[in-house]
């Protein structure tokens, strides 16, 4: 991105973990919502890094290490912009890799249909109600009990790591790694996420399109995005789009400080 094609935003955000002060280059032309997904993820990661530093000073350090894929059997919630981003990433891969990924998505769908969970997950995509963590506990447990590997997991490694969803980036634990072998039975200690970016992006999408604030389970993401390609091709002026996204960040943070979690996306 060249200086002539972007506008620099100087950002200062107060989070529960401390203050983020950073600069972000935003495209000035008309762009799809997917263009700001990496920028928003970056803000979320900077907020998470502050929380990690704060807890590390108390002797609590992340036990997550490369090669551990226990959390890759959990149900991952996406916002609509993230679902579109994942679709774009898959279609950017070589044909052979695309085929492997889509085959795993198809296998996952068969398992979810046979277990009766697919319909429950489909309903989450369409609900206009705000979803809280406790509302999703039942379906999360049913999904995890199947121990389905994420369609992007190959040889226990994430093939979409650099483009992985915000929810994956935000999940860090400080408890011993072996507890993650069975998350239904073992209590784990997680690092709080000061800023849930999938929730922020979901709120942004709702405002931009007037559609419901959707929570899209990752196993349904490709099919959902393929069915809504025309909507994903809408464009907005980059700075205005980013400004609207920041407004949702401030809204999320203000409600977090006030203890109001109704905006949670799961």
- Taking only the tens place, the pLDDT of each residue in 124-146 is 887 766 666 666 788 999 999 99
Q: What integer pLDDT is reported at residue 128 of this predicted model?
A: 63
Predicted TM-score of the model (pTM): 0.90
Rg (CA), the chain: 18
The CA-atom distances, in angstroms, between 216 and each of 30, 118, 119, 133 are 26, 12, 13, 14
Q: Which two tokens stand for residue 167?
A: 């929810």
DSSP per position, 155-174: TTEETTGGG--HHHHH--B-
Q: What integer pLDDT is reported at residue 131 of this predicted model?
A: 63
- Give the residues of the chain that fall short of pLDDT 70: 1-4, 128-135, 213, 258-266
Domain map (residue ranges) of the chain: 3-258
Where is 24: in which H helix or E strand? strand 18-27
Q: How far apart are CA 252 and CA 106, in angstroms?
A: 35
pLDDT tens digits, residue range 41-70?
A: 999 999 999 999 999 999 888 888 877 888
156 CB neighbour count, 10 Å cutoff: 12
Helices (H), the chain: 37-56, 80-91, 95-115, 118-126, 137-145, 166-170, 197-209, 218-226, 229-232, 238-258
The angle that helices 197-209 and 80-91 make with each other, rounded to 10 degrees, is: 100
Output phi, psi for 12, to 5 deg: -135, 120
């Amino acid at each position: 991105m060249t200086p002539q094609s972007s506008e620099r935003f100087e950002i200062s955000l107060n989070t529960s973990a401390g203050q983020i002060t950073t600069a972000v280059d935003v495209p000035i032309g008309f762009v799809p919502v997917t263009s700001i997904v990496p920028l928003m993820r970056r803000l979320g990661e900077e907020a998470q890094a502050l929380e990690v530093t704060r807890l590390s000073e108390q002797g609590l350090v992340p036990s997550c290490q490369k090669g551990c894929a226990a959390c890759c059997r959990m149900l991952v919630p996406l916002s609509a912009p993230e679902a579109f981003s994942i679709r774009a990433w898959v279609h950017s891969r070589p044909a052979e890799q695309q085929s492997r990924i889509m085959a795993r998505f198809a296998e996952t769908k068969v398992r979810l249909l046979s277990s009766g969970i697919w319909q429950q997950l489909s309903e989450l995509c369409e609900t206009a109600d705000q979803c809280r963590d406790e509302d999703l506990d039942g379906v999360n447990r049913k999904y995890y009990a199947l121990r389905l590997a994420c369609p992007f997991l190959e040889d226990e490694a994430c093939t979409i790591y650099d483009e992985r969803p915000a929810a994956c980036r935000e999940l860090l634990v400080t408890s011993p790694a072996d507890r993650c072998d069975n998350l239904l039975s073992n209590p784990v200690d997680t690092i709080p996420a000061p800023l849930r970016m999938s929730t922020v992006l979901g709120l942004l999408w709702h405002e931009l399109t007037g559609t419901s604030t959707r929570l899209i389970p990752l196993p349904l993401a490709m099919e959902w995005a393929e069915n809504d390609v025309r909507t994903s091709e809408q464009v907005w002026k980059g700075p205005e789009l980013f400004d609207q996204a920041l407004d949702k960040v401030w809204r999320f943070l203000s409600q977090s400080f006030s203890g109001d979690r109704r905006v949670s996306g799961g």
